[in-house]
Structure 1
């Protein structure tokens, strides 16, 4: 499966990082690049359950390709979700079903930093993405 351009960039950036400190800094920078979500979208219907921190997700289909946006009150989670969105934005509904979340964070060199609760939260986000795509 071909990676979206943002995912290719993320992969190159994180694989070039020397050690965890640099990756942590990159993670924060990616989180800061998430476009702000409108307050009108921060509704209970858009909330992702299963995350320890508050998290909202919206998605829209454009010409057969999905674009998602997310917001979180936790900076580290924002970074992780930004990397997840880099991996899924621009994919079709069928491609979204094929995304290997643990494999993606393994490639980025971040899997060791994913605590069980963070993993669960990211899985909840991916699950929500797949639900939106299946509607």
Structure 2
């Protein structure tokens, strides 16, 4: 169960044979993402468990989940963009039903990220799920 935006990323990854091309695509996704205002990069939005600095600020409008995120590391910023594609714009009640590890495995991220990066992605997913659970 993935959003249309995530499905587009998955389709693009199918055409990219080389992991370096996929890695570059993740970086480009991060560069295209709207930057988070510095004033929002505070301890309350910081994600613990990431080697890089990562901030996630959830927004729930009606029953739709969304978030703004950022990182000081270019590849992690791209991973935030991938997670935004996975979770952004879906109903709050569906956030907890998303099997993030399985969806990210479709991209091959589980095989190509360092253990530190994988732990960071897990921490971001846990933060997203926690915010959605609070709102549900």
Unaligned 5+ segments in structure 1 are none
State whether structure 2 residue 79 is matched by structure 1 residue 77: no
Distance 1:109 1:17 in 2: 11
TM-score w.r.t. length of structure 2: 0.92
Query: Which residue pairs with 1:95 in the alignment?
Result: 94
**8 Å CA contact retained: 2:96, 2:133:** no
Shift of residue 74, structure 1, vs aligned partner: 0.5
Distance 2:126 2:105 in 1: 19
Shift of residue 92, structure 1, vs aligned partner: 2.0
Unaligned 5+ segments in structure 2 are none
Shift of residue 94, structure 1, vs aligned partner: 2.2
Shift of residue 99, structure 1, vs aligned partner: 1.8
Query: Which residue pairs with 1:37 in the alignment?
Result: 36
Distance 2:20 2:132 in 1: 35
User: What pairs up with 1:8-87 in 2 under 5 angstroms?
Assistant: 8-87=7-86
Residues 42-101 of structure 1 show CA distances to partners (whole Å, capped at 9, x for unaligned) of 011110000010010001111211111111001111111211110011122221112222
Distance 1:129 1:50 in 2: 14
State whether structure 2 residue 132 is matched by structure 1 residue 133: yes
What RMSD in Å do the two structures reach over aligned CA positions? 1.2
Distance 1:71 1:60 in 2: 14
Distance 1:45 1:128 in 2: 11
Query: Which residue pairs with 2:123 in the alignment?
Result: 124
